[in-house]
Amino acid sequence: MNDNDKQTDRRNFIQQSFLGTAGAGLAITSTTDVMIAAEPGVTDVNVTNEVDVLVVGGGTAGTVAAIQSGRAGAKTMLLERNHQLGGTTTTGGVAFPGLFDAWGKQIIAGIGWELVKDSVELDGGTFPNFAKVPERHWHNQIHVNQFLYAILAEEKCEQAGVRIAYHEFPLAIGKTAAGWLVDCVGFGTRRRVLCKQLIDCTGGAEVVGMLKLPRLREEETQPGSMLLQLGEANNPGRDRLDAIYIHGADSSNSRTVTEACLTGRKAVLAKVRNDKKRLMHLQPEPGFRESYRIEGETVITVNDYTSGRLFEDAVSNAFYPVDLHSKSGVQPKPLKPSTVPTIPLRALVPKGSRNIIVAGRCVSSDRLANSGLRVQASCMGMGQAAGVAASLAAKSGTTPLEVPIAEIHKLLREHSAIVPSQA
DSSP string across 338-394: T---EEEGGGGSBTT-SSEEE-STTSSB-HHHHHHHTSHHHHHHHHHHHHHHHHHHH
**Model-wide pTM > 0.75:** yes
pLDDT in tens, 119-139: 999 999 999 999 999 999 999
Compute the chain's Rg from CA coordinates. Answer: 23
Q: What span, in angstroms and rounded, lies between the C-alpha atoms of 326 and 333?
A: 14
pLDDT score of 354:
97
pLDDT score of 29:
61
Q: Which domains does the chain have, with CATH numbers?
A: 46-218+293-414 (3.50.50.60), 224-282 (no CATH)
pLDDT in tens, 386-401: 999 999 999 999 999 9
Helix intervals (H) in 227-314: 254-275, 302-307
pLDDT score of 39:
64
| 311: CB partners within 8 A, 6+ apart | 298, 304, 342, 343, 344, 346, 420
pLDDT score of 312:
97
Q: What span, in angstroms and rounded, lies between the C-alpha atoms of 356 and 55?
A: 10
Give the type of residue at 63.
Answer: T
Average pLDDT for runs of 10 along the chain of length 423 = 51 45 52 70 81 98 98 98 97 96 98 98 97 94 98 98 98 96 96 98 97 94 96 96 95 95 97 98 96 98 98 98 88 94 98 98 97 97 98 98 98 98 69
